[in-house]
Amino acid sequence: MTLLESRNLGVGYRIPGTGLFSAARMLPIVHDLSLTLDPGRTLGVVGESGCGKSTLGRALLRLIVPSDGQVLWQGEDMATIPDLRRRRAEMQIIFQDPVAALDPRMTLAKIVSRPLATFEPNLSRKDARARAVQALEQVGLSADFADRFPHELSGGQAQRVGIARAIVGRPKLIICDEPVSALDVSIQAQVINLLMELQEKMGLALVFISHNLAVVRHISHDVMVMCLGRVVEQAPRSEFYARPLHPYSQALMDAVPEPDPRREKGRVGTALAGELPSVLNPPPGCVFASRCPKATDLCRQTRPELRTVAPGRQAACHFIEA
Partner 1 sequence: MGCVTPLTQMTAEPLLSLQDLTVRFRLPQGETVAVDGVSLDLAPGEVLGIVGESGSGKSQILYALMGLLASNGRAGGRALFQGQDLLALTEAQLDRVRGQDISMIFQDPMTSLNPYTRVVDQLAEGLIVHKGLSRADARAEGVRMLDRVRIPDAARRARLYPHEFSGGMRQRVMIAMALLARPKLLLADEPTTALDVTIQAQVLDLMAELGRETGTAIVLVTHDLGVVARLCDRVAVLYGGRVMEEAKAEALFDTPSHPYTRGLLAAMPRLESPLTPRLGTIPGTPRSGGGDLPGCPFAARCTERLDHCTTTRPVLQSTAPDRRSACHLIEAAT
Cβ atoms of 123 and 175 within 8 Å: the answer is no
Closest separation in Å from C-beta 211 to partner 1: 7
- Starting from the edge strand earliest in sequence, which strands make up the sheet with 76-77, in order? 25-37, 4-15, 68-73, 76-77
Residues 157-186 that bind partner 1 (CB under 8 A): 157, 184-186
- 73 burial (CB, 10 Å; 0-12 / 13-18 / 19+) is buried
Contacting partner 1 (CB under 8 A), which of 15, 27, 256, 298? Answer: 256
Residues 25, 31, 36, 40, Cα dihedral to 10°: -70
Q: Between residues 263 and 294, which has the closer beta carbon with respect to partner 1?
A: 263
Closest separation in Å from C-beta 88 to partner 1: 30
Q: At what angle do helices 108-119 and 125-138 cross, to 10 degrees?
A: 120
User: Which DSSP letter does residue 2 get?
Assistant: -
Q: Between residues 23 and 273, which has the closer beta carbon with respect to partner 1?
A: 273
Q: Between residues 78 and 180, which has the closer beta carbon with respect to partner 1?
A: 180
Contacting partner 1 (CB under 8 A), which of 1, 20, 23, 273? Answer: 273
Q: Between residues 67 and 181, which has the closer beta carbon with respect to partner 1?
A: 181
Q: Between residues 58 and 218, which has the closer beta carbon with respect to partner 1?
A: 218
Q: Between residues 20 and 273, which has the closer beta carbon with respect to partner 1?
A: 273
* 275 makes contact with partner 1 (CB under 8 A): yes
Contacting partner 1 (CB under 8 A), which of 217, 221, 303, 318? Answer: 217
Contacting partner 1 (CB under 8 A), which of 81, 89, 189, 320? Answer: 189
Query: What is the Cα Rg of the chain in Å?
Result: 21
Which of 235, 231, 281 lies closest to 25 in space, CA to CA?
Answer: 281
* 264 makes contact with partner 1 (CB under 8 A): yes
Closest separation in Å from C-beta 249 to partner 1: 12
Cα–Cα–Cα angle for 51, 55, 60, rounded to 5 degrees: 125
Locate the DSSP E strands across the chain: 4-15, 25-37, 42-46, 68-73, 76-77, 91-94, 173-177, 205-210, 222-227, 230-236, 307-310, 313-315
Handedness of CA 229, 232, 235, 241 (dihedral sign): negative
* 192 makes contact with partner 1 (CB under 8 A): yes
Binding letters toward partner 1, positions 13-52, x by CB under 8 A: -----------------------------------xx---
Closest separation in Å from C-beta 185 to partner 1: 5
Q: Between residues 1 and 185, which has the closer beta carbon with respect to partner 1?
A: 185
Q: Between residues 34 and 190, which has the closer beta carbon with respect to partner 1?
A: 190
Cβ atoms of 59 and 93 within 8 Å: the answer is no
Closest separation in Å from C-beta 239 to partner 1: 14
Contacting partner 1 (CB under 8 A), which of 75, 82, 259, 284? Answer: 259
If DSSP codes are grouped into helix, strand and coil, which group holds residue 72?
strand
If DSSP codes are grouped into helix, strand and coil, which group holds residue 180?
coil
Q: Between residues 68 and 137, which has the closer beta carbon with respect to partner 1?
A: 137
Residue numbers of the site for partner 1 (CB under 8 A)?
48-49, 154-157, 184-190, 192-193, 196, 211-215, 217-218, 241, 251-265, 267-273, 275-276, 291
